[in-house]
Structure 1
Amino acid sequence: MMDDEGRPFGTSPASGDLDACAREPIHVPGHIQPHGLLLVIEPDSRAVLQASDNLAGFGLSVDGAIPGAGLKEVVGGDAATEIESALNAFSAGEGPTLLGPVTIHDRVFDLVVHQVGDRLILELEVETADSPRGSLDGLYPHIQAFVGSLPALSDEESLGSAAAAKIRELTGFDRVLVYRFDEDWNGTVVAEARGERLPSYLDLRFPASDIPAQARELYRLNRLRLIPDADYVPVPVHPERDPATGALLDLSLSVLRSVSPVHVQYMKNMGTPASMSVSILDEGRLWGLISCHHGEPRRVPAHVRTACDFVGQILAMQIGAKARSQMTSERVKRHEIEARLLSAMSEASSFEEGLAAMPDELLALTDAAGAAIVSDGQAWLLGRTPDEADVLAIGDWLFAHHPAEGVYSTPSLGRESAPFEGLASTAAGLAAIAISQVRPSFVIWFRPEVIETVRWGGDPRKPQEPSEGRLDPRTSFEMWKETVRGRSEPWSRPQIEAAGSLRNAIVGIVMRKAEEMAALTEELKRSNKELEAFSYSISHDLRAPFRHIVGFAELLKEMDPVAEDSRASRYVDTVIESAHSAGRLVDDLLAFSQMGRTKLTPIRLDMNKLVDEVMRMLRPDWEGRGIEWEISSLPRACGDPSFMRSVWQNLIANSIKYTRGTDPSRIVIEGEERDDTCVYVIRDDGVGFDMAYVDKLFGVFQRLHRIEDYEGSGIGLANIRRIVERHGGKVWAEGEVGKGAIFSFSLPKRSEGDTCQN
């Protein structure tokens, strides 16, 4: 594999050549690809300052010299009017924007515009017979199907596979890869969709040197790149420099920008004369690439590329949202472990004694196999560790080389210090927190080595041989395997943060025990901020695309050709309905994420009255059906009326929904007081569920029935559990397929000393 700026994947050039690569001005090549033309204009006067040298090849005759000719003189009056009208829809500061088709001398071009400084860059990509213009009704069903499949996908690999398959379906490329960068910018192919013509690159790893920092920055700035034919002849831009400023033309955001000759030769060597890439950005950071290859020249129309870019953005948002959700959940779990450790330390005579009394919790805080507490020349050993003498030696080494770091971590201690290479079976990986800056005092976690076989896309140790002053791409693409020893599983960011948080707490206990609660409160505030950031990310990143889909689809529906075509109108209605459905899903997810932060206002609740209100609200859903209701007298409870109304509404609505296939059906609502709780039950004789999956029932997006059969977002029961647990109660369910379901929840009784507003 290879990046489209001319750096071959799977090779390691000599350091001098890498330095030359890093300095190469790849954003100002001075040329474009020949399947379009480029104009640089001054925004106010519309004077053409620079242009590609292929205007005549597209039938444009310039009545006046460039620079200085007006737009009308270059493209003709009718085309200039079309372009002027399209430019009215362009806003400064936007990235490359597709402004629709423009006709110049009976040829149709796709117009893409972006701004660099005080210059507008117009790129006109000619439409050919093999790339006919499509319509939204041909693309949105694909996007709709892709969006609809996402809630069931739980990890990066399955999301990437779905995106790769969808983009291959849209474009017809022989091979589509999803390429993920790690924290050191090494890359791995995590997903792939391909035909038989090109070999598989799945699971291959590539070193960071394959894509230099400046190339990664171009991928970050410009999400989409296409090379239809590696045999193209670059077209120069004339004049080479801006006539007013003397600056070279910055083509960072150009869709036609010419690529390095090294990359062209690489594509030929690989047998893939056509390629396309879509950048995957997570909160502005380059997460990875969707890389497409074809065994023969291939043009992808602009509207299809736009759809692929949209798929890439949706993939990026899903990956980011799931990663942040998982990270937030992991942090919360570690905060809970830390709280228990803090409690043990506060009750013990020293922090060492408190930690040593809870070995399982201390190991679970960072998912370590062993831990040691080093202080005053003594070592408390917990789990799988080196012997005491080696642990004390590690403590001395840490004090000498990393005395003031909040958290020091490495997956390969032996590479950091040769004397410890022999400890890989217990201490290949190490994470440590320094408790004191004046003496060796540490809490250290250990992990054993994990022997790993890495599949590289070529031998990363071989230097790239320069030829006539430049790097030549390799001609061999055989997989190269490496067995990696002496390394543990890497330490994740939540694990490092948890260790750092524990260090802060221990230092607080040692120095001022009275500040312990304040430190814990700050950690909880940080957790809340993370949840708020997650909610904002979902709201900001997912809502906007769905609004755009609805807005543009409604505009499309108002167009006469669509209004007269009943099939096209149905397609557009489906797009609008799906986008609204996805928006409701986002709203449900936001409600779930905010549920834990909204303040409860408990009052003494008349549950019978609350159920009556919900029944009246849901009457349109069951009126006219043969449902026999049996509602017993329900005991009063203390709770927040809004939240408890939501609980009853979800439970009763579910019973109504899942008894649709039973006629007549029977729904029973009852409650009773027990020793220290009030228990409420709703049972039905509907479709039921398999008890083997009961543990999934109350999870977010966990559905036990097909969405085609029973609508819903998969969040309602998760909301019920969160509400009930915030009230101090529990929720559970029983069911049998075809015989109905029983949902129960309990609320604790309030003692006379508790306050509950009347």
Structure 2
Amino acid sequence: MTLASPSLDLTSCDREPIRTPGSVQPHGCVLALAPDGTVVQASDNLAHHLGVSATAALGRTLAGVVGDAIAAQLEGELAGELSSVAGRPNFAATVRLNGGCFDVLVHRYDALLMLEFEAVQRTGVADFRHLYPLVGDFLQKLGDGDPVEKMSATAAAEIRAVTGFNRVLVYRFDDEGHGHVLAESGDGGLPSYLGQRFPATDIPKQARELYALNRIRLIHDANYTPARLVPPENPLTGALNDLSFAALRSVSPVHLQYMRNMGTMASMSVSLMVQGRLWGLISCHNAAACHITFDKRTACEQLGQILALRIESREMADELQFRLEVRRTMVDALAGLTQGADFIENMGNVFPQLLHFARAGGVAVVVDDRIVGFGETPGEAQVRALVGWLQANTHDDLYHTEQLAADYPPAYAFRQVASGLLAMPISRIHQHYLLWFRPEVVYTIDWAGKPREKEGDIPADAPRELSPRTSFASWRETVHGTALPWHPGELEMAVEFRTALLGIALERAEQMAELADELGRANKELEAFSYSVSHDLRAPLRHIAGFADLLMEAAGNDSLEKRQRFLKNIKESARLAGKLVDDLLSFSQMGRASLRPVHVDMNDLVRSCVDKVKLDAGGGRNIVWHVGELPAVTADPTFLQLAVINLLSNAVKFTGQKDPAEIRIEGRRTDTESVFSVADNGTGFNMDYVHKLFGVFQRLHRMEDFQGTGIGLANVRRIVERHGGRVAAQGALNEGATFTFTIPNILPST
């Protein structure tokens, strides 16, 4: 594209062929060699520099253009690594030709080996030895804790010292692509732009892509006349040469006019790549034409790379510190949300942490019709209307903006307290939201020339003439209706916070479900308790009262033997009533007492239980005990012993009519749990009623036939379930019964 294209609109800047200009800057010349070593393309200023015309050079070998001695010198370099290098140019040699001195650069692209001959004023070879002390000195000047602005100022001063340019700027691109000047070093020969911004439109998209690809670019004279390539196309591909990596690549005529309008005749740019993206530029300007040799450009490029690495390190450290602080605040807030059952009340308790978490001016929680706010927030009616709009128009896990009125015009009325909004839906069904508000921050931007899009008399979509802007006079813009932007770390932590909130809600729901199950079980146990109180406990009390009346009526008339029988019945009834009360107390304790799990040798525990049950059974029974090898477990030994004694006592009781009675105790360990069983050859039970076995005061046999309170197996179940295990029973009438329980290898947290 040339300046003779006034009818094109600005959008065509992004389509200008800046990578394939078909020409080079004239302070050097170009030879393009095919794989067979012949020259297939040359710049039309070849005769001026090397004394051979471009057309005469075509078809010749390198020696035929530059002579045998220089060709031998270059071919020695090209025969090594450089011949295979693609991309950025590498230094090959410094040669003298046609009365001049040239730095020869080489790179391979588009199947061609590109040789660039840059004219230099010195007579000696390029000296790269100064690079090491320069880099070392620069590193020493950069402190570990220096902010980005200070490091940038140090780099600007170093690069101006190397190049001698009148002004060196370091600027970074913001999220909209505008360049903000962070640092400047100048000699006063050119205006200062420190602190000002350059509009994003100054650098089209494709130019930014090229900056990321080729990290350094020099324009030695804004008034140069380009030297065209002969022929214009690459003879091997039939397409225009891609000169992205050529040091001599010609630049857009529009940019040259931009430089002239800016009052700079020479410029150099060094790209600052941070975490794989174009973070900013080091931009060097000079009022007069100026050529910077390759060795000095290499030094500047190295300084730029070091600065970019230090910026990346500084930003990563700051980012990590920021995220740690946000996470610490989030954890504090979450800890406060688990204290009580009321969500609104819990939120109110942690409002200060929530404000700090999001660096907000106000926060509000909305749960159906309830709204509770803290800090500077819109009015209740405004919040309610805003939530209605959010529910109808936003469907993501988070909604955030620093210009709320742009999306929701009614917000203009309360922009002073809520120009920024971070909204978190807590429920997809109900109108439950957590809202953070950031106040309006009125600020000014100093532009280096008024951006085109700020021209109020020109429609934004109007076609415009393709020409560089002519004014760089400072223009100040005042921005309203905008809050501080939300940091990506804040947004990520907010998503985590929402997930944690949902986790708390889910845990509460599970606790409520578990509580409902426990309540249902407690109700059943209460019903059984009521029945026991009305029947089992009242029966012995009636016996006591009845036999006491008989004893009183028979006083003085009956024999001593009869009175003793009455007293024995009274004693037995009182004993049974007391046992019922004791067993009820034990059952209640099973649900309240804390477990104290330790390593338990089940062989020892069962052996002691068998001894106790034998003692209680007396010596008149013929009981054969079969005890297998049992695995060890981690459990509360006191509770576990009570469960085992209950099971063994049951086995002894229900084998009372067997001679011999056989009781078998076995155990085994699996990958997840230990399984134990107690089997007997006693009365057994009907499996139709197995579901009643482990209930409180449930019996499958008459109390007159087998004594007991009906609480023992209920205690067994409660003990085992407290350990996270299971109980089961298998039996048949008159064929015995087997009771099984499990203890997990890893106990649940209690």
Q: Normalised by the shorter chain, which TM-score bucket?
A: 0.5 to 0.7
TM (normalized to structure 1)?
0.62
Of the three residues 106, 109, 114, the one matched with 2:102 is 109
- Are 1:486 and 2:478 counterparts? no
The equivalent of 2:540 in structure 1 is none
The equivalent of 1:495 in structure 2 is 490
Distance across 2 between alignment mates of 1:120 and 1:438: 66
Larger gyration radius, structure 1 or structure 2? 2
Q: Secondary structure at the match of 1:330?
A: helix
CA separation of 1:485/1:62 partners in 2, compared to 1, >3 Å: closer, same or farther? closer
Of the three residues 424, 443, 448, the one matched with 1:452 is 443
Of the three residues 295, 307, 316, the one matched with 1:324 is 316
The equivalent of 2:400 in structure 1 is 409
Write out per-residue CA displacement over residues 608-643 of structure 1, whole angstroms, 9 at most, x where no aligned residue: xxxxxxxxxxxxxxxxxxxxxxxxxxxxxxxxxxxx
Q: Secondary structure at the match of 1:443?
A: strand
Question: Is the contact made by 1:64 and 1:73 (CA closer than 8 Å) also made in structure 2?
Answer: no
Of the three residues 94, 98, 107, the one matched with 2:91 is 98
Aligned length: 503
Of the three residues 58, 78, 85, the one matched with 2:69 is 78
The equivalent of 1:46 in structure 2 is 37
- Are 1:276 and 2:268 counterparts? yes
The equivalent of 1:377 in structure 2 is 369
CA separation of 1:251/1:136 partners in 2, compared to 1, >3 Å: closer, same or farther? closer
The equivalent of 2:426 in structure 1 is 435
Question: Is the contact made by 1:52 and 1:236 (CA closer than 8 Å) also made in structure 2?
Answer: yes
TM alignment of 1:51-66, pairs within 5 A: 51-61=42-52
Q: Secondary structure at the match of 2:142?
A: helix
The equivalent of 1:476 in structure 2 is 471
TM alignment of 1:40-439, pairs within 5 A: 40-42=32-34, 44-61=35-52, 67-87=58-78, 88-90=80-82, 91-105=84-98, 107-129=100-122, 135-151=127-143, 154-349=146-341, 351-403=343-395, 405-439=396-430
Distance across 1 between alignment mates of 2:145 and 2:459: 40
Distance across 1 between alignment mates of 2:229 and 2:507: 68
CA separation of 1:379/1:217 partners in 2, compared to 1, >3 Å: closer, same or farther? same
Question: Is the contact made by 1:132 and 1:301 (CA closer than 8 Å) also made in structure 2?
Answer: no
Gaps of 5+ in 1: 8-13, 517-758
Distance across 2 between alignment mates of 1:485 and 1:206: 20
Distance across 1 between alignment mates of 2:481 and 2:252: 39
What is the Cα deviation at residue 111 of structure 1? 2.3
Of the three residues 11, 14, 29, the one matched with 1:37 is 29
Residue 493 of structure 1 aligns with an amino acid whose one-letter code is: P
Of the three residues 24, 47, 52, the one matched with 2:16 is 24
What is the Cα deviation at residue 276 of structure 1? 0.8
CA separation of 1:63/1:26 partners in 2, compared to 1, >3 Å: closer, same or farther? closer
Write out per-residue CA displacement over residues 213-254 of structure 1, whole angstroms, 9 at most, x where no aligned residue: 111001111111111111211000111111122111111122
Residue 117 of structure 2 aligns with an amino acid whose one-letter code is: L
The equivalent of 2:608 in structure 1 is none
What is the Cα deviation at residue 92 of structure 1? 3.1
CA separation of 1:346/1:92 partners in 2, compared to 1, >3 Å: closer, same or farther? farther
Distance across 2 between alignment mates of 1:153 and 1:191: 17
Write out per-residue CA displacement over residues 92-139 of structure 1, whole angstroms, 9 at most, x where no aligned residue: 34533233424445643222222324333222211125x976634544
Q: Secondary structure at the match of 2:217?
A: strand
Residue 112 of structure 1 aligns with an amino acid whose one-letter code is: L
Residue 76 of structure 2 aligns with an amino acid whose one-letter code is: S
The equivalent of 1:642 in structure 2 is none
Mean Cα displacement is larger for which, 447-456 or 503-512? 503-512
Write out per-residue CA displacement over residues 631-663 of structure 1, whole angstroms, 9 at most, x where no aligned residue: xxxxxxxxxxxxxxxxxxxxxxxxxxxxxxxxx
TM alignment of 1:611-650, pairs within 5 A: none
Q: Secondary structure at the match of 2:81?
A: coil
CA separation of 1:28/1:134 partners in 2, compared to 1, >3 Å: closer, same or farther? closer
CA separation of 1:285/1:509 partners in 2, compared to 1, >3 Å: closer, same or farther? same
What is the Cα deviation at residue 190 of structure 1? 0.9
What is the Cα deviation at residue 513 of structure 1? 6.3
Question: Is the contact made by 1:457 and 1:478 (CA closer than 8 Å) also made in structure 2?
Answer: yes
CA separation of 1:148/1:6 partners in 2, compared to 1, >3 Å: closer, same or farther? farther
Q: Secondary structure at the match of 2:285?
A: strand
Q: Secondary structure at the match of 2:9?
A: helix
CA separation of 1:417/1:100 partners in 2, compared to 1, >3 Å: closer, same or farther? farther
What is the Cα deviation at residue 187 of structure 1? 1.5
Question: Is the contact made by 1:89 and 1:99 (CA closer than 8 Å) also made in structure 2?
Answer: no
Distance across 1 between alignment mates of 2:47 and 2:55: 13
Q: Secondary structure at the match of 2:433?
A: strand
Q: Secondary structure at the match of 2:135?
A: helix
TM alignment of 1:513-532, pairs within 5 A: none
Question: Is the contact made by 2:417 and 2:437 (CA closer than 8 Å) also made in structure 1?
Answer: yes
Distance across 2 between alignment mates of 1:146 and 1:94: 27
TM (normalized to structure 2)?
0.63
Write out per-residue CA displacement over residues 341-395 of structure 1, whole angstroms, 9 at most, x where no aligned residue: 2222233325544332111211111211111122223222122111221112221
CA separation of 1:256/1:64 partners in 2, compared to 1, >3 Å: closer, same or farther? closer
What is the Cα deviation at residue 325 of structure 1? 1.0
The equivalent of 2:722 in structure 1 is none
CA separation of 1:469/1:388 partners in 2, compared to 1, >3 Å: closer, same or farther? closer
Distance across 2 between alignment mates of 1:431 and 1:53: 61
Mean Cα displacement is larger for which, 500-509 or 134-143? 134-143
Question: Is the contact made by 2:44 and 2:53 (CA closer than 8 Å) also made in structure 1?
Answer: no
Question: Is the contact made by 1:409 and 1:431 (CA closer than 8 Å) also made in structure 2?
Answer: yes
Q: Sequence identity of aligned pairs in percent?
A: 42
Distance across 1 between alignment mates of 2:374 and 2:330: 17
Where relative contact order (Cα < 8 A, 6+ residues apart) is larger, the structure is 1
Mean Cα displacement is larger for which, 257-266 or 189-198? 257-266
Question: Is the contact made by 2:10 and 2:466 (CA closer than 8 Å) also made in structure 1?
Answer: no
Gaps of 5+ in 2: 512-750
CA separation of 1:294/1:465 partners in 2, compared to 1, >3 Å: closer, same or farther? farther
CA separation of 1:459/1:63 partners in 2, compared to 1, >3 Å: closer, same or farther? closer
Question: Is the contact made by 2:94 and 2:125 (CA closer than 8 Å) also made in structure 1?
Answer: no
Residue 454 of structure 1 aligns with an amino acid whose one-letter code is: I
What is the Cα deviation at residue 16 of structure 1? 7.2
Q: Secondary structure at the match of 2:313?
A: helix
Distance across 2 between alignment mates of 1:59 and 1:92: 25
Question: Is the contact made by 1:465 and 1:471 (CA closer than 8 Å) also made in structure 2?
Answer: no
Write out per-residue CA displacement over residues 11-70 of structure 1, whole angstroms, 9 at most, x where no aligned residue: xxx99722211121211111110011122223x422322211111111243698665432
CA separation of 1:256/1:348 partners in 2, compared to 1, >3 Å: closer, same or farther? farther
Residue 283 of structure 1 aligns with an amino acid whose one-letter code is: Q
Q: Secondary structure at the match of 1:331?
A: helix
Write out per-residue CA displacement over residues 503-524 of structure 1, whole angstroms, 9 at most, x where no aligned residue: 22223333456999xxxxxxxx
Residue 271 of structure 1 aligns with an amino acid whose one-letter code is: G
What is the Cα deviation at residue 317 of structure 1? 0.4
